[in-house]
Structure 1
Amino acid sequence: MLPKLEKLHFYTIAEAKANLSKVIGIVNNDDYDVIITKNGLPSVALLSYEKYVKIQKFLDSVYELYLMDAGTDVANTDLKDILDSTEED
């Protein structure tokens, strides 16, 4: 599920560079995520380190469940490879 639009702030690359301290403050202090756009399209998501760690822990636990369910055929598959393959779908 994507975050609600009211919890997102959008900045162009130039705006984010010019206001980096402000952008970091918005992410850390105001609990917003920031989307940085390039040529009008979303390019990068900036989120707090705390949220990043939570997402990584969640992905690790889901990956472990995936391995248990899929069996030994995918035991040597890296999580990055799985995430990369979902982008192609």
Structure 2
Amino acid sequence: MSEVKDHRGRGAKISSKHQITIPVAALRAAGVEAGERLVARSDGPGRIVLQREGDVLGEFAGALTSAFRTDELAALRDEWD
């Protein structure tokens, strides 16, 4: 009987609305928490991979720090007033 319980604890079923509940143990092992956004992609027949959604803003923030002189942006902002 313990084998059946163990197997059921790892399994998941797709609902008629194409939703799936992921076992807590799998989420904890992956370090994923409630509220996080994930991206799903196929990795071959019968295999779906979930990955954290990338933080686009965080990825590019500060990328153009050397594109302007130190005082140049302040001067441009002053033109808006």
Structure 1 length as normaliser, TM-score? 0.27
Higher strand share: 1
Structure 2 length as normaliser, TM-score? 0.29
Bigger Rg over Cα: 2
